[in-house]
Structure 1
């Protein structure tokens, strides 16, 4: 990680959800929909530390699944529509919701990773210590 001392603290939640740099809060984090830039255009922070892994996808599955299943059950119990109507309603809504929250969640996890200096775990006495 690079030196944080020269920058005022940035709220990782607001910076991450907006897709801004976790150090300065100004530069853009993403280049495209989910691809990360190499570094911040404002403060020069290298984003090489950033590895959100499958975390954002897991949160999206849980959040969107909870919403969609609740809505499907409510509509089914109230109206009992045919299956084709369920497909027409819930497939597009699932795609829109998942696509809408995936990027902000990825930005949030990367900002929290920066804030807490999170990195891959290492064992003492491993090959990299010799």
Structure 2
């Protein structure tokens, strides 16, 4: 969950959902991942299975007004979605790595080595 699939080091996400191109510890290339659309769908499924039963339970036991439901469930849903999205994306990237999907297998046709970083442009020489 946010750890390198090869060595287990933390730091797969330098930003909220941005996957680092390669592990800073072991050098494993992670730029092959195709975990763009699946993590939000998985997050919605997990959060829905948590929030909906709780919502039904509270409604059946206490019958609160609509405003209480909105004040309770909207923030909870938002917080759960934002909290679960990075770990679920990490799990999906790790699953792709474990199954050698989308170029993680060096013997596959999809494999592309990590491109070499471009050198920074040098400032132009001062003209006399």
Q: Structure 2-normalised TM-score?
A: 0.75
Gaps of 5+ in 2: 104-128
Aligned length: 103
Gaps of 5+ in 1: 1-16, 121-130
Q: Whole-Å Cα distance in 2 between the matches of residues 97 and 33 of structure 1?
A: 15
Of Structure 1 and Structure 2, the greater helix share is in 1
Partner residue of 1:108 out of 86, 91, 97: 91
Which residue of 1 is the match for residue 75 of structure 2?
92
SS of 2:31's equivalent in the other structure is helix
- The structure whose RCO (Cα within 8 Å, separation 6+) is larger is 1
- 1:18-37 mapped onto 2 (5 Å cutoff): 19-37=2-20
Question: What is the CA-CA distance between 1:77 and the residue it aligns to?
Answer: 1.0
Question: What is the CA-CA distance between 1:113 and the residue it aligns to?
Answer: 0.5
Q: Structure 1-normalised TM-score?
A: 0.74
Across the aligned residues of Structure 1 and Structure 2, the Cα RMSD in angstroms comes to 1.3
* Runs of 4+ in structure 1 over 4 Å off: none
Q: Whole-Å Cα distance in 2 between the matches of residues 32 and 81 of structure 1?
A: 39
Partner residue of 2:42 out of 38, 59, 67: 59
- 84-93 or 44-53, larger mean C-alpha shift: 44-53
- 1:7-46 mapped onto 2 (5 Å cutoff): 17=1, 19-46=2-29
SS of 1:99's equivalent in the other structure is helix
Q: Whole-Å Cα distance in 2 between the matches of residues 63 and 35 of structure 1?
A: 21
